[in-house]
Amino acid sequence: MENGIGQISNEIGGQLATRRVDELRPHPSYSRHQLAPSTQQISALASVGASAFRDPIVITQDRIIIDGYARWELARTLDRKTILCIECQLTEEEGLRMLLQRHRRSNSLNDFCRILLASEIEACLKSKAESNQRDGGKNKGSSKLTEADKVDVRKQVADAAGVSVGNVAKVRQLMSNTTPEILQALRSGEIRIHRAWCWSTMRAEKQREQLRLRRIERAVKKTVRTLVSRQRTKISRSHDNSPSFTGSALRELARHLSASESSDVGEVSIALVDAPGKCVFLTKELYQVLEKQQELLPPC
């Protein structure tokens, strides 16, 4: 293990050190954009016990965390006093670039989060581009970039985040055209950039409704997968390939629905779910309404 840690230390040009947990802090850009490791990430680390702290976290000489946010949060939760670190001599911008680099292929920072962080270096990139203009004799005394320079800056931001230039542009629009609920869903990875961007032309109320429906859809699909898996297990154990509900049970359900008072049942939504098998699901609320109206219902 020591050889492995030493190799990592050499690769990133840092020194091994043990630091107090309470003297470490997130990168300012990480805090500004309200980023944090997910509960699932921390729980997964906690499940492996002391092994969670086998690898060191990466920090700067100013105690700014570059990599290892979930381990740091877990250490704080467990009230650990110290944690093993690799300490690197980096400026704030260099630290941000390393943070982006080390999280390109991890699940801890999705595309949206990396674009938010990469946007923090845009001002520096623009300043360098303007300086290059002046040094090259173009646009002397001007602080405005040419369209080519603007495109180059956007590409550098995209490269730093490991995403396409198109997604950088979409995130910029989202930051001014969407609701806080959508932005939080993007941070957590609950929805993707393109989906949120498609919603961004809608009114705020409609955006929230789309998010609500998306969550319902995901919950239904998860329930369907669970139920289908359980049913397949039952069939496998019993070697009985007969379905749980016959066509007659469906006809009986349809009869009950048509016989019930419309004022009691109210509006019933029907949604198509892309899931394996032939299944019909009732919400508890609808089943309870039907149960009050009829003595006999298909078994659940």
- Contact predicate 64/19, CB 8 Å: no
Domain count, the chain: 2
pLDDT the model gives residue 226: 80
In a domain? residue 131: no
At residue 298, the pLDDT reads: 52
- Tell me the CATH number at 35: 3.90.1530.10
Looking at residue 297, its pLDDT comes to 53
Q: Compute the distance between CA of residue 244 and CA of residue 283 in angstroms, rounded to an integer.
A: 18
Among 60, 88, 108, give the residue marking a domain's end. Answer: 108
Is residue 15 situated within a structural domain? yes
pLDDT at residue 243 in the model: 43
* Whole-number pLDDT of residue 284: 74
| pLDDT value at residue 242 | 44
Sheet holding 57-60, edge to edge: 15-20, 82-88, 57-60, 64-67, 25-26
Residues of the chain with pLDDT under 70: 1-12, 129-143, 145, 231-250, 252-253, 255-269, 271-279, 290-300
> Per the domain annotation, does 169 fall within a domain?
no
Q: Is residue 132 part of a domain?
A: no
Q: How far is CA 297 from the centre of its chain?
A: 41
Predicted local distance difference test score (pLDDT) of residue 53: 94
Domain range for residue 239? 207-293
Q: Please, how many CA atoms are within 13 Å of residue 17, restricted to the half-sphere of its CB?
A: 16
pLDDT, position 257: 67
Could you tell me the CA-to-CA distances from 11 to 4, 5, 125 in Å, in that order?
11, 10, 26
3-state helix, strand, coil split of the chain in percent (to 5) is 60, 10, 30
- Domain boundary pick from 83, 108, 133: 108
Domain assignment present for residue 2? The answer is yes
- Please check whether residue 211 is in contact with residue 191, taking contact to mean a CB–CB distance below 8 angstroms: yes
pTM beyond 0.75, yes or no: no
Domain's final residue, options 66, 89, 108: 108
- Residue 98 confidence (pLDDT): 92
Domain membership of residue 248 (yes or no) is yes
